[in-house]
């Protein structure tokens, strides 16, 4: 078992550059990946008419492995810097890490 967790962020596209800058400057995050994804929900608040019709909204997904010991500080900074922005996050334990 590793002492890492996987922090996943889902963000509206206009926040992509701000989150890239934030992740690059946040202590404890040495690297991350990002990708364009589609979000699906039965809730329609905040969705454009096009998103409501298509049943999906475009999001940017960021994933970063961080030390579990630094998680609370990272989440505190995330809340301070992006409160009310529409960023959604979750955290999962990392069972193993490796490279081949």
Owning domain of residue 46: 4-93
DSSP code of 42?
Answer: S
Residue 14 lies in a domain: yes
Residue 18 lies in a domain: yes
**CATH code of 32's domain:** 3.30.70.120
Q: Is the pLDDT of residue 29 over 70?
A: yes
- pLDDT tens-digit profile of 1-23? 679 999 999 999 999 999 999 99
Residue 77 lies in a domain: yes
- pLDDT tens-digit profile of 51-99? 655 566 889 999 999 999 999 999 999 999 999 998 999 999 999 999 9
pTM (two decimals) = 0.85
Q: How many domains does the chain have?
A: 1
Q: How far apart (Å, rounded) are the C-alpha atoms in residues 92 and 86?
A: 20
């Amino acid at each position: 078992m590793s002492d890492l967790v996987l922090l996943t962020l889902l963000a509206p596209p206009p926040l992509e550059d701000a989150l890239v800058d934030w992740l690059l400057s946040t202590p404890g995050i040495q690297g991350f990946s990002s990708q364009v994804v589609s979000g699906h929900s039965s809730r329609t608040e905040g969705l454009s008419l096009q998103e409501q019709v298509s049943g999906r909204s475009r999001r940017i997904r960021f994933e970063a492995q961080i030390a579990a010991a630094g998680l609370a500080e990272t989440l505190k900074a995330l809340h301070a810097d992006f409160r009310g922005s529409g960023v959604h996050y979750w955290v999962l334990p990392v069972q193993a890490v490796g490279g081949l």
